[in-house]
């Protein structure tokens, strides 16, 4: 069965077609702003057993479907790697090549937190610089087919939230519908032996424990003493201090502030934005999109249930 194609201004899942997977590959599949870079860092720490890397994280763990580099250059980087590869994608699980030998790591996050984090993320992007990189890498001929660029987000943060929560036309970033739909793709295969679901809130509450769990999923042996040291390197403050090495595509120049990619890393800021009435409305929308079990995990993780 042909995998569905997911694409927008930023990425195109068709770039996975023909890519040769290795038996020990790791694919990190998450919606944007759900802890992708954090998970890449955890994998890097466990695989290399060090917090010091010889090149930026985005080159160690490239985003294959991102359209600011040619597919040939990204593929060449991956084919040249001799270590265990861990590849980033925002493509849902059903849009990726399936291989029972490959480990698929999916990460969830409260969609309300994703919304606020995405707003900052988008505002921190130099769109003109991004478009120039895309033009050099893959061209712009497909933009007419993809539709018009996203309209400016409403200035009022509450209006902006509802625009995100009710949108059914994602142009470049996640909406409530696309986030929950992507969670669903991974949730439906959570019992597969090579699929593991993690959650941002669990990583925040117990980074050591979740890193221990990840080591088990990846079948990497590490002592608790060593794991404590490695986990410290994955703290928000430590990663923010290394933004030039760890922020995605930090060498491509489309962040207004590379350091500010690691903005706050907190959860629950939506409580300052939404009234009780807003929250009731939001819950009605979210619960109409997925099952109660998945809705609970999406908003609370494993440890919060």
Catalytic sites, residue numbers: 90
∠ CA 98-100-106, nearest 5°, is 65
DSSP one-letter code for 93: G
Q: What share of the chain is helix, strand, coil (3-state, %, to 5)?
A: 50, 10, 45
Q: Which residues of 108-143 are buried (b: 16+ CB within 10 A; e: fewer)?
A: bbbbbbbbbbbbebeebbeeeebbebbeebbeeeee
Question: What whole-number distance in Å separates Cα of residue 268 and Cα of residue 271?
Answer: 6
Using CA atoms, how far residue 214 sits from 98, 186, 219, 230, 236, in Å, is 20, 16, 8, 13, 18
Residue 32's nearest CA partner among 71, 2, 5, 6 is: 6
């Amino acid at each position: 069965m042909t995998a569905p194609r997911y694409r927008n201004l930023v990425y195109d899942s068709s770039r996975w077609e023909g890519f040769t997977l290795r038996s020990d590959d790791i694919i990190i599949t998450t919606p944007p702003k759900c802890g992708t870079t954090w998970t890449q860092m955890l994998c890097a720490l466990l695989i290399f057993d060090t917090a010091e890397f010889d090149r930026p994280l985005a080159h160690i763990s490239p985003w294959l479907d991102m359209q600011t580099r040619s597919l040939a250059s990204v593929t060449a980087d991956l084919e040249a790697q001799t270590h265990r590869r861990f590849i980033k994608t925002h493509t849902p699980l059903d849009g990726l090549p399936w291989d029972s030998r490959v480990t698929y790591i999916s990460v969830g996050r409260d969609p309300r937190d994703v919304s606020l984090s995405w707003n900052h993320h988008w505002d921190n992007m130099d769109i003109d610089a991004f478009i120039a990189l895309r033009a050099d890498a893959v061209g712009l001929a497909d933009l007419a087919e993809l539709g018009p660029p996203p309209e400016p987000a409403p200035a009022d943060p509450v209006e902006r939230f509802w625009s995100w929560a009710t949108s059914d036309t994602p142009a470049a970033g996640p909406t409530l519908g696309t986030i929950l739909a992507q969670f669903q793709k991974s949730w439906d295969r959570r019992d597969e032996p090579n699929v593991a679901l993690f959650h941002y809130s669990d990583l925040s509450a117990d980074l050591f424990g979740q890193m221990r769990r990840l080591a088990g999923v990846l079948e990497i042996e590490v002592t608790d003493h060593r794991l404590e040291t490695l986990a410290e390197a994955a703290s928000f403050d430590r990663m923010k201090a290394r933004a030039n090495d760890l922020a995605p595509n930090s060498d491509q120049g489309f962040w207004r502030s590379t350091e500010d990619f690691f903005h706050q890393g907190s959860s629950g800021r939506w409580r300052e934005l939404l009234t009780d009435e807003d929250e009731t409305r939001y819950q009605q929308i979210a619960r109409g999109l997925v099952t109660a079990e998945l809705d609970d995990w999406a908003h609370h993780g494993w440890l919060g249930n």
